[in-house]
Structure 1
Amino acid sequence: MDQIVPGGASATPGGLLYSGNDWNFQIIRNCYDAIQEIADKELGLEIYANRIEIITSEQMLDVYTSHGMPLGYKHWSFGKRFIGHESAYRRGLMGLAYEVVINSDPCISYLMEENSATMQALVIAHAAFGHNHFFRNNRLFREWTDPSQILDYLEFARGFIARCEERHGQRAVERILDAAHALQNQGVHRHSGARKLDLKAEQQRARERREYEDSMFNDLWRTLPSDLPGEKDGPQDSATRRRLGLPEENLLYFLEKNAPRLAPWEREIIRIVRMVAQYFYPQPQVKMMNEGCATWVHAYIMRRLHELGRIDDAAYLEVIHSTSNVINQPGFEAGGGPSFNPYALGYAMMTDIARICVDPSDEDRRWFPDIAGNGDPVGTLRHAWAEYRDESFIQQFLSPKVIRDFRMFRLRDDTTQPYLLVDAIHDEAGYRDIRRSVALTYDPGTFYTEIEIVDVDLLGDRTLVLEHRSRKGQTLQPGDARQTLDYLVTLWGYGVVLKEIDSQTGEVITTHAVNPPG
């Protein structure tokens, strides 16, 4: 793995940066300098320091399996994913990304050594400037993550888990990791305001936590009578629930603090999984904007390099071909589910915003009076990149033109009828209905299951009670629910009951119960 820290000698002003497909490190440095000049002077991008690493295709596959991070703890699931990706790649069933970029400071961009010189320049513009700017400036990332600490924390996590394997055995560690991984999507704070992770402080306090016996555990569990009768929902139960912080949506947080049978090192592993999951929490909420931003930036920069004579026609044709493949939106008949290609929709919307700012139609002036004809497409985009997530960006900026270009319409599937109803088309009311429906598919509330811990039977068998608020009668798959509850029982140590509640009526739809073996 070769590393490049940009800042070397500059290319000859006005001349071609390279010719043909071959590249070397000087060419990459020259491309970086030319790209940086456009990014600074014309786009006003604000970025973290860049670190560029050249890796092989096998190393790229390895990066795929570890959240794109250069280091991390060992777990069998990462190896399983690696084998699956490698097998599909070798058989030609999947391609590899041209790059992987990490939300860290410095921002690390991985470039494949098999790329041509043009692709190396393109992915520098895409990752080291487009994604980098988005990571540094988008509000979700600013409020929820601190990229200067993530690599040190991952190094600490890898070392801690390795020491646990030496001391307690690999199977004991995997038992906790398996359970924590199964619950990690329910292991983040979502609605508590800005909670930027202080990973450096977490690492410093790790030793103290490992030596600390939770006082709540001692007082709450060791002294509890197990055979005294008590009335549910009485004053004592209410006080206990308040002390435990119930209801609690962050399952891993509750288990880490309150599970009565976990050893200190097991709590620390749960905390590691929880911290990593929390760090990646913003990513799916801005995937379309992030990819759209990076694609728009690389398309702009590579076009300007061609206009300035820094790349030739052959190189720019390669750029057009690659970008066209990335932003291709398959039709509904191609399958693949109802989701839009995030590159395609994001790039189309951002290109449309730039057009509206410079050359608006009468329709644009009616729909977007605040930005139509303002003459500042780059400033408007920078503001959008900083202040919106996918859902709100679509709700604010999806235009009738993009709806027509993507040939969007809305279907209503009434299970009581033998047909599908087209209830929103390309008219004034239909545009707004379609925009609301598309935005709803990017609402985090639609892809995060609403489950929270609501009670603990402290005066009885210590059963943990959870509730799932279902949407429009959508219930959990019984098999999946039971497997997940098995993992929850592993960490809790006692029985677990999950009640599925109709969010509109409050009625219990179904109940899942799992008890520990034996």
Structure 2
Amino acid sequence: MTEPLYITSHTDWTPALIEQVWKEIELIAAEEMDLKPGVDIYPNSIEIISAEQMLDAYSSIGLPIHYNHWSFGKDFLKSHRAYQSGRQGLAYEIVINTNPCISYLMEDNNMVMQTMVMAHAAIGHNAVFKNNESFKQWTNAGSIVDYMIFARDYIRQCEERYGEEEVELVLDAAHSLAPHGVDKFKRKHHPRMSEEARLQKLLADEDQKQRELDIIMKKTSFKDVDLSEHDEGDSPEEEENLLYFIMKHSPNLPQWKREILRIVYKVNQYFYPQGQTKNLNEGFASFCHYYIMTRLEEKGFLSPDAFMAFLESHSAVIYQPVYTDRWYSGPNPYALGFAILMDLKRMCENPTDEDREWFPHLMGRRWQEVIKEAAFEHRDDSFVAQYMSPKVIRDLKLFTIGFKHGDGDEDDDTILARVTEIHDEVGYKNIRNSMARSLERINYVPQIVVKEADLEGDRTLRLEYVPYMGRAIDLADADLVTDYIDSLWGYAVEIDC
């Protein structure tokens, strides 16, 4: 007979207890949060792993299977040494956007922590993976594991055939371009076939493709290059996915190297939505674990000391250092996302006159509906622009800073910082807009586009940096990356900065 579920701060986890707790978590999520298993969340695979396995998951960027590369081993050793010396802790969990959704829980966690991270990852993150429009558009959770098995095996075969050093050089070059290897707009859909069948077809046709490429080079210019995988209306001059462009159009790149570029491109595309939804994803997961843990305590499944232990961990997760703190590194995505979603729930249940003025479209709606809409239909920039309220701005003490020359003299190099927006009606809007803009991808990945590829002449590839808000590009980094592009393109590469 199963013992009544009751967790204290000293309760150790057991497989049976985890299964029992998970049933209660699913029940609360389904009945109270409108997150129904099989409908709003993927089936879950909850796995308990060791610290060593968690470090290994770190090094493989959170995927259960990955190809070999020296950078992964470097990351593992760095994290392992920091962990052993006590300079670094480990995440409570890692969750993977797959179907079924895989949640790794640390074996060193006690039962309170295991309960919290199941609510956080297996409910919160899982629901965002399945329902958020960015993930629905850009990822296929059901195929990523199979694809990574293919990628791992293919790169091993390349190492055996062409040598580890040669493969490593291609991967180094591809990884250097990874931030510039995503499609921000969908390309044409092509009928799916297995990766193995597609690769066999490519290899079988390689000689024919090379002959066709030679003909194209002789009689066409850049504008005539075959762009069959581009959406109609795309212009090659506007191509921002450098990895894709080189994969498709590098004049003399062997097919096996093109396939490696395609693997890095596919993996990078898989992670693209996660970079666009960090705040709402972590905020929604934190909202879920807070609501579920609170309800478990109210229903008598958590003891008072267990709930206090949870609140201590929760407070650490959503802690926002002030800008004068030595360890301040910008807004904590857990804190910002959680604050916005909790405020939405408050506005639906107990609105103020200020809420009615700023968010009239939310009045009278169920909080479950509004929370899901915010988490599932936006990415970070639109999430903040649409839902960050004056109350959240006040609670987080947000403000903007502008810079100007010390005395207004152009010859004066002194730069002074000053607060440019305060907490008034205009200030709230400007702060919210500034925060939303700061979360756009252009702020951390410079826009570099293909300007020209002279396939008719000397085959020089010309790239162009498109400045954003007057920012200059780091010329030393640009030179290093250009060297890698040279090795893939095979001819001169120039970048206009």
| TM-score strictly above 0.5 | yes
SS in 2 for 1:93: coil
Match of 2:424 among 422, 427, 431: 427
Report the alpha carbon displacement of residue 448 of structure 1 after superposing the two structures with TM.
2.5
Alignment of 1:12-91 (within 5 A): 15-16=5-6, 20-45=10-35, 46-91=40-85
Task: Determine if contact 1:143/1:196 at 8 Å carries over to the other structure.
Answer: no
Q: 1:57 to 1:198 in 2, by over 3 A?
A: farther
Identify the range of structure 1 (325-334 vs 449-458) with the bigger mean alpha-carbon deviation: 449-458
Match of 2:86 among 84, 92, 97: 92
Alignment match, 2:178 = 184
In the aligned structure 2, how far is the partner of 1:180 from the partner of 1:316? 47
Match of 1:315 among 302, 306, 309: 306
SS in 2 for 1:207: helix
Q: Deviations over 1:99-150 (max 9, x none)?
A: 0000000000000000001101111111011110111111111111110000
Q: 1:333 to 1:18 in 2, by over 3 A?
A: closer
Q: 1:415 to 1:277 in 2, by over 3 A?
A: farther
Gaps spanning 5+ residues in structure 1: where? 1-8, 226-234, 501-518
Q: 1:337 to 1:329 in 2, by over 3 A?
A: closer
Match of 1:342 among 333, 337, 362: 333
Report the alpha carbon displacement of residue 221 of structure 1 after superposing the two structures with TM.
3.5
Match of 1:157 among 133, 151, 154: 151
In the aligned structure 2, how far is the partner of 1:197 from the partner of 1:119? 45
Task: Determine if contact 2:8/2:305 at 8 Å carries over to the other structure.
Answer: no
Q: Deviations over 1:452-478 (max 9, x none)?
A: 112122343211111110123322211
Alignment match, 1:325 = 316
Q: Which has the higher contact order (CA 8 A, sep 6+)?
A: 2
Task: Determine if contact 1:149/1:199 at 8 Å carries over to the other structure.
Answer: no
Report the alpha carbon displacement of residue 350 of structure 1 after superposing the two structures with TM.
0.6
Task: Determine if contact 1:17/1:30 at 8 Å carries over to the other structure.
Answer: no
Alignment of 1:461-480 (within 5 A): 461-480=458-477
Task: Determine if contact 1:144/1:195 at 8 Å carries over to the other structure.
Answer: no
Q: 1:216 to 1:451 in 2, by over 3 A?
A: farther
TM-score scaled by structure 2? 0.91
Is 1:405 equivalent to 2:395 in the alignment? yes
Amino acid at match of 2:468: R
Identify the range of structure 1 (260-269 vs 361-370) with the bigger mean alpha-carbon deviation: 260-269
Report the alpha carbon displacement of residue 201 of structure 1 after superposing the two structures with TM.
4.1
In the aligned structure 1, how far is the partner of 2:222 from the partner of 2:16? 68
In the aligned structure 1, how far is the partner of 2:310 from the partner of 2:153? 42
Is 1:396 equivalent to 2:386 in the alignment? yes
In the aligned structure 2, how far is the partner of 1:197 from the partner of 1:319? 48
Amino acid at match of 2:357: R
Alignment of 1:49-448 (within 5 A): 49-190=43-184, 192-193=185-186, 201-213=194-206, 217-221=210-214, 224=217, 237=221, 239-240=223-224, 246-247=236-237, 248-336=239-327, 339-372=330-363, 374=364, 376-415=366-405, 417=408, 418-448=415-445
Amino acid at match of 1:127: A
* Aligned-residue RMSD, C-alpha: 2.2
TM-score scaled by structure 1? 0.88
Amino acid at match of 1:128: A
Task: Determine if contact 2:322/2:328 at 8 Å carries over to the other structure.
Answer: no
SS in 2 for 1:89: helix
Q: Deviations over 1:60-118 (max 9, x none)?
A: 01101112011110000000111111122222222111000000000000000000011
In the aligned structure 2, how far is the partner of 1:91 from the partner of 1:212? 54
Calculate percent identity across the aligned residue pairs.
43
Identify the range of structure 1 (472-481 vs 149-158) with the bigger mean alpha-carbon deviation: 472-481
Gaps spanning 5+ residues in structure 2: where? 229-234, 409-414
**Matched positions, count:** 479
Report the alpha carbon displacement of residue 18 of structure 1 after superposing the two structures with TM.
6.4
Report the alpha carbon displacement of residue 153 of structure 1 after superposing the two structures with TM.
0.4
In the aligned structure 1, how far is the partner of 2:438 from the partner of 2:84? 34
In the aligned structure 2, how far is the partner of 1:430 from the partner of 1:203? 56
Report the alpha carbon displacement of residue 199 of structure 1 after superposing the two structures with TM.
7.7
In the aligned structure 2, how far is the partner of 1:315 from the partner of 1:195? 52
Task: Determine if contact 2:68/2:152 at 8 Å carries over to the other structure.
Answer: yes
Report the alpha carbon displacement of residue 223 of structure 1 after superposing the two structures with TM.
7.5
Report the alpha carbon displacement of residue 267 of structure 1 after superposing the two structures with TM.
1.0
